[in-house]
Each structure stands twice: as C-alpha cells, then as structure tokens.
Amino acid sequence: MTLTGSDLVAQALRRQGVDTFFYIMGAPMLSVEAASLALGMRGIDVRHEQAAAMAAHAYARLLNRPGICMAASGPGTTNLITGVAHAFVDCTPVVALGGSSPAALSGHGAFQEIDQLAMLAPCTKWSARAHHAERIPELVDRAIREAMSGKPGPVYLDLPGDVLFAAVDEARVAWPDPWDPARRPRPAASGADIEAIADLLATAEKPVIVAGMGVLWSDAEAELQAFVEATGIPFYTTPQSRGAIPEDHALCYLTARATAFREADLILVLGTRMNYIIGHASPPRFNAAAKVVRIDIDPGEIATSPRRLDVGVVADAKVALAQLTLAARGRVSPDRFAAWRDRLRGQNRSKLDEQEAILGNDATPIHPLRLCRELRDFMARDTILCVDGQEILNYGRQAIPTFEPRHRLNSGTFGTMGVGLPFGLGAKVACLRHERHGARHAGPPQAADPSGHQPQRWLDRRPEEGAAGARPRLHPLRPDGRGARLPRRTG
Ligand SMILES: Cc1ncc(C[n+]2csc(CCOP(=O)(O)OP(=O)(O)O)c2C)c(N)n1
C-alpha cells in the first residue's frame, strides 16, 4: 500500500497516542490535518497560531503529555514562535509541526518560503526538517521523546510540502515503538548523596523546601508530600507548581515566604531552576550562610547553579524524594523543626489577618485584591486558574491559593502577555479529554500530619469542603482518585 508523507505524520502521531492537536489549517499541512481528523484525532482550531502553541502548552501541563500544535508554511509557522518560545523558557513539551515550502525549490522564491527551521531552532529543545517521507515516523518519535525526556521542552519538526506529498511504499516504513511514559528513565541519587543530604537535614534548624515543576513533570507530588510530612519541613513552590501539595496543608506558610527564605539555614531546591523566579536562591532573598541542596534531572541545571551547592544531585524527583524519605526515617524528626514552624506559622497567621482586611476593601472602583477575593471564594478547590497580565498576577499570587497540582497556569518564566485565553482553551480541552477517559471519584484521605498541626485558614473559611485535613473533594483530572496517576497513560 502507498502512503503519503502526510499520512505518515498522522499515523505516526496516532501511534504515539496523540488524540488532540491545536492548529490553523493551511498548505502544505491540509492533508496532514485531514488525515489526523480522519484517524479520530480532535483538531481544535484557533484564529492565530500563537494561541495554538499556548493551548498545546496548557494541555501538556495539565496532562503531563506532549501538546501538539500545527501550522501552515511561512506566516503560519512564524506565528507559532512566541508560543513556542514561551514553552521553551517555561520548559514545557509542546510539539510544533510546521509545513514549509518544497525543499526542491529551496532558494527559488517558492510560496511562503522562509527559513523556518533557523527561526525555531533557538527557541526549541530540538528541531529538525524531514527530508525523506519514510523517515517521518522516526522523526515524530524523536520529537516526542526529546520533548518529554529529562527537563521537558518544546520541539519543532519542519515538514516541506514535497516531502508531505511524496508517496511511500508502506512496506519500507519502520514504525518505532511508541514513547511510553511508564518506561521513562528515572535516575536515582547515589547512596552517598542521599547520606550527605540526610546529614544536613539532621543538623539543620531552619530548613525549607523550594519545589518546582520538575516535581510535577516527574509525577512526584505524592512523594513530595510524604517527604514533607515525614520530616516536618516547611515547603514553598514556584508559582507554576503551586498546588503540588494543597496550600491549606499544615506545613504551608504562604505569607511567611520572605522570612522563610531569609532565615532558612538549609535550602532544598527540588526540580526547579535557580532562576529569577526564586531570586536565584541567593542573597538578598535567601540567607547567604544557608547550605544548599539541589536535586534536578538536568545536569546542566546543576552545573549552572548561581550559588555554590553543598550537594547537587542529578536525579528524578520521584525516585530521589522516596530515597530521602527513607533515609530520613529515624534520623530527622519533625519535632526538631517545631520552633521554626511555630515562627513561620505565627507570622503567616498575622499576615493573613492583615491581608484579609485588605481583601475586603469595598472601595469603588474595585481594588484588584477585592476582585481576587471574590474569585477565591467563588472557586471550587479543583478549579483551574489561568492568570494573565502583570499586576493581577501579583495580586492573585498573594490572594488566591491552589489546592491541586497543575491547576494554576500563568504567564510563566517568560512573562508572556496573552496566555490567559489560550491557556483556558487548552485547559478545558484537557479536562474534556479527561472526562472521556473516566468518571470522577472522590480523593483518598490525606495522610496524617506528623507535627499534629491542624490544616490552616483556607479550610477554616471553607468548612463545606470537608473535615479538617480532607483531600480536595473532586478532581477532574484524577478519575481513579489516587493522586499521582492520571488517565493520560491510557490514551
Ligand atoms: C507578549 C507581551 N507583550 C508585552 C509585554 C510587556 N508587558 C508586561 S506587563 C504589560 C501590561 C499588562 O497590562 P494588563 O494586561 O492590563 O494587565 P495587568 O498588569 O493590569 O495585570 C505589558 C504590555 C509582555 N510581557 N508580553
């Protein structure tokens, strides 16, 4: 049987488990898009390709799957660039497929001819052009593996029209085994590194955890929470990974963040870059005398740490956190940090009281913080919040908590205006995909807090959410109700 390059793109995507893509149709991608739809994939069309890349970004973050976007040649693909660059700076696995003018006419002034590969290369983790139709399945496989491996990131595959239109004997096509998230490599920390970290934990007095999206890409939120509860160490997250542990957890002292960072004598940086988002984990925001432990799946991150690491470990967050929890058993008691927690809790309480008074401001025109309070009180625990803008980002950060991992999207590390609507679109599509894959279930009970502290303010104000310490009630992304496992693996 004869297949075209376009058929091969669609079939390769389908075999890789792709069932959704975001796009604006156009030459030379029309037959890729038609073949994808014919195979039962869902095509969500937008009005500007930037939105396709951003919707794919939100979709990827919510489901921990590659988010696919497609664009026509020339301006269609150049319109993707800001969305793809945003994904690059935000380390998100967006797979961008761009049609391009025929390779055989390169340099002859073909319709919409421009060097798309050169433009996309600096804002992607990996990029390539298909030169031979029969190798398209290999390139699609490579694109998805590159996007999803290690520190995730966007990739770009350039698809010239003549390669898409070429006819290939199916017998000559080798289909790779599809990428399987369950078989991803999960490097462990060495025993010596785990011992070194356990020693630091056992002698610290004011440790603090700063966790990031790496924890969520690793599906390690349950392991993070287990580690926090086993050791009694206060935790903070980056804005994008808020909700990794529900923010009414007894060891979450959101508004005491500045004090926690300034006074901590041991900083555990887990699965996040030491970039401006966390003040490079350096003075003046962080204690200059603190010891620093860093765990990251990317050796480049460890190598480029902006301050000296006492222990820097290249490891998968899920595995390393489980190792640490085990190593801490019997050596690091939550009691050790009781005074530290008391200090942060006291400060958090008084700041929340102050803040609540400001949030109730009934001046006209309405103050942004009042708007945030109305939203906060309206939102269910499992609402996905997309925040655009600059000022509202700051106000929202102070005023609106997050209780579920992956339920907060914002303009991210690149600070890109215009993410709000396409993120909302991608998030909604992710939820609908989820609903097709299973029913909702209530979550399991939350593990007991070893420090014996009651969950905090947000629950106090929201008694309808259940007994103190209950897990959030329903979760649209967790039909099996078991926290770290999402239905995405099935499709
Ligand atoms: C794509 C893009 N264009 C421009 C900017 C520069 N910029 C940063 S904040 C801002 C204004 C945001 O105003 P508004 O949308 O009213 O949000 P608010 O600050 O009130 O939350 C602009 C234009 C940007 N970050 N991204």
Distance 46 CA to ligand 1 centre (A): 22
Interacting residues of 229 by C-beta distance below 8 A, sequence separation 6+: 251, 334, 447, 448, 449, 450
Q: Is 122 helix (H, G, I), strand (E, B) or coil?
A: helix
Q: Measured from the CB, is residue 255 less than 6 Å from ligand 1? A: no
Instruction: State yes or no: pLDDT of 479 exceeds 60.
Output: no
Which span out of 331-335, 359-363, 443-447, 476-480 was modeled with the highest average pLDDT? Answer: 331-335
Q: How far apart are CA 428 and CA 46, in angstroms?
A: 14
Q: Measured from the CB, is residue 92 less than 6 Å from ligand 1? A: no
| Segments in 184-337 forming alpha helices (H) | 191-203, 213-217, 221-231, 257-263, 299-303, 317-328
Closest among 35, 54, 32, 10 to 429, alpha carbons compared = 54
Q: What is the mean pLDDT of residues 106-112?
A: 95
Distance 348 CA to ligand 1 centre (A): 30
- CA dihedral in degrees (237, 238, 244, 247; nearest 10)? 60
> 191-345 has which fold?
Rossmann fold (3.40.50)
Q: What is the pLDDT of residue 158?
A: 98
For a ligand 1 pocket test, name from 417, 419, 421, 423 the mutation site with the most ligand atoms within 8 angstroms of its C-beta: 417
Q: Measured from the CB, is residue 394 less than 6 Å from ligand 1? A: no
Q: How far apart are CA 248 and CA 319, in angstroms?
A: 25
Question: Phi and psi at residue 314, in whole multiples of 5°?
Answer: -90, 110
Q: What is the pLDDT of residue 474?
A: 31
How does pLDDT run across 177-205, given as a tens digit for each residue? 999 999 999 999 999 999 999 999 999 99
Q: How far apart are CA 447 and CA 445, in angstroms?
A: 6
Amino acid at 239: P
Question: Phi and psi at residue 296, in whole multiples of 5°?
Answer: -150, 145
Query: How distant, in Å, are the alpha carbons of 281, 345, 346, 409 from that of 259?
Result: 13, 11, 11, 26
Instruction: State yes or no: pLDDT of 120 exceeds 90.
Output: yes
* End-to-end CA gap in the chain: 27
Q: Whose CA is nearest to atom 4 of ligand 1?
A: 417
Instruction: State yes or no: pLDDT of 447 exceeds 50.
Output: no
Residue with more model confidence, 261 or 444: 261
Task: Evaluate whether 2-183 and 191-345 have a shared fold.
Answer: yes
Q: What is the pLDDT of residue 437?
A: 67
Instruction: State yes or no: pLDDT of 464 exceeds 60.
Output: no
Instruction: State yes or no: pLDDT of 488 exceeds 60.
Output: no
Domain map (residue ranges) of the chain: 2-183, 191-345
Q: How far apart are CA 38 and CA 45, in angstroms?
A: 15
For residue 245, name the pLDDT band (cuts at 50, 70, 90): very high
CATH class of 2-183: alpha beta
Residue with more model confidence, 451 or 239: 239
Q: What is the pLDDT of residue 433?
A: 84
Burial 186-219 (b: 16+ CB within 10 A, else e): eeebeeebbebbbebbeebebbbbbbbbbbbbbb
Instruction: State yes or no: pLDDT of 46 exceeds 80.
Output: yes
Helix and strand element counts for the chain (H, E) = 19, 15
The full DSSP string for 271-292 is: SS--SGGGGGG-TTTS-TT-EE
Q: What is the mean pLDDT of residues 4-13?
A: 98
Distance 414 CA to ligand 1 centre (A): 12
Instruction: State yes or no: pLDDT of 66 exceeds 50.
Output: yes
Amino acid at 374: E
For residue 462, name the pLDDT band (cuts at 50, 70, 90): very low
Q: Is 61 helix (H, G, I), strand (E, B) or coil?
A: helix
For residue 434, name the pLDDT band (cuts at 50, 70, 90): confident
Q: pTM of the entire structure?
A: 0.89
How does pLDDT run across 255-265, given as a tens digit for each residue? 999 999 999 99
Closest among 472, 468, 255 to 359, alpha carbons compared = 255
Angle between helices 338-359 and 368-378 (to 10 degrees): 110
For residue 473, name the pLDDT band (cuts at 50, 70, 90): very low
